[in-house]
Amino acid sequence: MPLKSTLTEFIIGEQRKYSGATGGFTALLNDVQLACKRIAKLLGKGALAGVHGAAEGENVQGERQMKLDVMANDVFLRTNEWGGHLAAMASEELESVYHIPARFPRGRYLLAFDPLDGSSNIDVNVAVGSIFSVLRCAEGVSEPTARDFLQAGTEQVCAGYAIYGPTTMLVLTLGHGVHGFTLDREIGEFILTHPDLRIPAETSEFAINASNERFWEPPVKRYISECLAGRGGPRAKDFNMRWIASFVAEVHRILMRGGLFMYPKDNKDPAKAGRLRLLYEASPMAFLVEQAGGAASTGRGRILEAGPESLHQRVPVILGSKQEVERIARYHGEHDRGVDQPFSSPLFNERTLFVQ
């Protein structure tokens, strides 16, 4: 029986296939995967290790921080700072760029990460994850600042996430397709179990936080009301809805079986352009989704082309099955040009919500 490839073998194989990658890059990804294994172990102990519950403070974005947010951030920093492959790091949990301590050598890559995504789900034992994005540091920059991280998503060298569910998986793209690895806990290695993941172009499943409905823009209301109208509506088919409130778990479902995820722009807090952060949430996931044949849009443009203006910038996110994402982007375009045709289901005529 042939042995399945480990993540390390896979990365070295890719490196041999495509020029440009270096041994340093392989070593960097080895540190990233070790950070994910360490976090998987912490999460697996759960309440036994006393790691559940809220931390003392808030993070830089005024969000409630869980103890595990702080611990996972620390694991990412400690596991990745020493290897000599990074010029700097940026984390959801840190206001500014993390400089590599002077006692360690510096490298040519930048690592941006969300050490623990979906952390509000920890105490209820629902899947959470870690998201990471690798960028190149510009030549000649010895002391990277936030500005060095503000690159379009198209510049990513690599992106991926780990999902800590019933099994721990790591899903990765180096720009040549998307590949999923499952952690074999007995040998401590990620094993290639899901090569060449592809997202079907069509779907009849969508995920959105419907409690925000009253804040949505007309194109989003139009799309969802058409889905809800089901077989008798303009889409002529019934849809299912999912909502896990863990971005990693939502994207993972879409990579496994298709679907659509939206956290669109809304008018709940006009100061925020969206909910998810561009550099270490939206951008790496958009890279994965596009590499798997799906699409990722803000509604008004490709996420990978949205130039970040700050480290913690937020963006609207619409991603998944290509035909659906393109349809919603078209609805935004029609709305912005004043030529949209809002759908008004007889079911909802009584409700002002769907009458635009």
> Residue 324, interface with Mn ion (CB under 5 A)?
no
What residues does 169 pair with on adjacent strands? 163, 182
Other beta carbons within 10 Å of 335: 20
CA-based angle 286:292:298, to the nearest 5? 25
To Mn ion, the closest distance from the beta carbon of 118 in angstroms equals: 6
> Residue 148, interface with Mn ion (CB under 5 A)?
no
Judged by CB under 5 A, how many residues of this single chain contact Mn ion? 4
Q: Specify the amino acid at residue 316.
A: P
- Are 306 and 279 spatial neighbours (Cβ–Cβ below 8 Å)? no
Q: DSSP states of 48-104 as a string?
A: GGT--SEEEEE-TTSPEEEHHHHHHHHHHHHHHHSSS-EEEEEETT-SSPEEPPTTS
> Residue 114, interface with Mn ion (CB under 5 A)?
yes
- The C-alpha atoms of residue 254 and residue 207 are separated, in whole angstroms, by 10
Cβ-proximal residue to Mn ion, closest one: 117
Q: Specify the amino acid at residue 137.
A: C
To Mn ion, the closest distance from the beta carbon of 230 in angstroms equals: 32
* Sign for the pseudo-dihedral over CA of 255, 65, 71, 73: positive
From the list 31-39, 116-124, 225-233, 340-348, the region that binds Mn ion by CB under 5 A is 116-124
From the list 42-50, 110-118, 284-292, 318-326, the region that binds Mn ion by CB under 5 A is 110-118
- Closer CB to Mn ion, residue 107 or residue 308? 308
- Closer CB to Mn ion, residue 92 or residue 250? 92
To Mn ion, the closest distance from the beta carbon of 182 in angstroms equals: 22
* Sign for the pseudo-dihedral over CA of 253, 256, 258, 263: positive
> Residue 117, interface with Mn ion (CB under 5 A)?
yes
Half-sphere exposure of 87 (CA within 13 A, CB side): 18
Q: Which residues 87-106 are close enough to bind Mn ion by CB under 5 A? A: 92
Packing angle of the helix pair 23-45, 67-81 (nearest 10 deg): 150
To Mn ion, the closest distance from the beta carbon of 60 in angstroms equals: 11
From the list 39-47, 112-120, 188-196, 283-291, the region that binds Mn ion by CB under 5 A is 112-120
Q: Which residues 38-97 are close enough to bind Mn ion by CB under 5 A? A: 92
Which of 158, 113, 115 lies closest to 135 in space, CA to CA? 158
From the list 111-119, 176-184, 212-220, 337-345, the region that binds Mn ion by CB under 5 A is 111-119
> Residue 250, interface with Mn ion (CB under 5 A)?
no
- Closer CB to Mn ion, residue 276 or residue 292? 276
- Closer CB to Mn ion, residue 92 or residue 290? 92
- Closer CB to Mn ion, residue 68 or residue 135? 68
- Closer CB to Mn ion, residue 85 or residue 277? 277
Helix (H, G, I), strand (E, B) or coil at 25: helix
From the list 41-49, 109-117, 197-205, 323-331, the region that binds Mn ion by CB under 5 A is 109-117
What is the length of the chain?
A: 356
To Mn ion, the closest distance from the beta carbon of 246 in angstroms equals: 8
- Closer CB to Mn ion, residue 132 or residue 239? 132
Q: Strands, E, within the chain: which ranges?
A: 54-58, 64-66, 86-91, 98-99, 109-117, 128-136, 158-164, 168-173, 178-184, 189-194, 205-207, 240-242, 260-263, 276-277, 295-297, 314-315, 317-320
- Closer CB to Mn ion, residue 163 or residue 329? 163
Instruction: Please give the residue ranges that form the binding site for Mn ion (CB under 5 A).
Output: 92, 114, 116-117
